[in-house]
Amino acid sequence: MQKQRYRRIGWPAIAALLIVAFAATLGSVAARQSQSKAQIQSAEKAQTKVVLLGTGTPRPYPDRSGPATAIVVGERAYLVDFGPGVVRRASAAAEKGTPELASTNLKIAFLTHLHSDHTAGYPDLILTPWVMGRTELDVYGPEGLEEMTKHVLEAWWQDIEIRTKGLEQRHALVVRAHDVKPGVVYKDERVTVTVFRVPHGQWPEAFGYRFDTPGKSIVISGDTSPSEEIVAHCQPCDVLIHEVYSPESVLLMPDYKTYRAKYHTSTSELAEIANRTKPGMLVVYHMSGRGPNGRIPDEQMLREIQKTYHGKVVIGHDLEVY
């Protein structure tokens, strides 16, 4: 009788102990999963890189290639603009520690607008990586990109024909151009890309871009005068990459001050935008800064911005990584 009473009392106790142990195990698993998720998010954030391939303007400074920025997420690269020298700058970045920017990996690109300093590297982007073995290229941008792509392919038709039908026996050149409108224009497991309009003088369409990755939000202004769209799309954002000019700079045109105001953003205007958006980091590129006595130093451009903006700001240079 005593043994049976012990058995009757024992089973509920054992069940209770099992429940407690199971709950503890679940809690431990949940904690590990939460920790693992945090580690993955931290790793993904670390894996998102901003690489400045070209930070220049139409002026052919040898240390500043034409506008081009790469967003690298994991093993995939996304290119914004393709100014002169874009493929070789990407190859230089690959050799300096970002192998994802090897020419054959330049498969997805976005264009802010059709100005020549942002597009003169387009034939290079289409042809050089293809000759090196890339299989396809998708490009997204404003109206006119599809037509530009058609004309580039027509201009190089003999090269393409000889390389594909001659002794080289290259595979077919596949380029898909997409004229897009504001909104989400691209999405995969690594990134969501949103297009928004910016005002750039007489251009009927000019775009800025927002990239959302698992770890970072990045906004690229393209060429623009002060824009409420940029303010709206960088609240919040981790990195704001924005063009600028110094009010002390001059241009060889009849009414360059009116041109500047309609097409670009001054250092004081950029400081105001940064104060409103408060990005984690402001990266300045596409700087128009040549005064009566020559090139305006980076330090002066920085001082002009920092007169009224006291957040983190850097003057970008080719091949820098953020």
CB 133 within 8 A of CB 102: no
DSSP string, 81-126: ---TTHHHHHHHHHHTT-GGGSGGG--EEE-S---HHHHTTHHHHH
* 298-306 vs 267-277: helix crossing angle, rounded to 10: 50
Q: Which residue in this structure is represented by tokens 């041109």?
A: 259
Q: Is 68 strand, coil or helix?
A: strand
CB 210 within 8 A of CB 170: no
Q: Which residues are catalytic?
A: 117
CA–CA separation, 299 and 79 (whole Å): 28
CA–CA separation, 106 and 12 (whole Å): 65
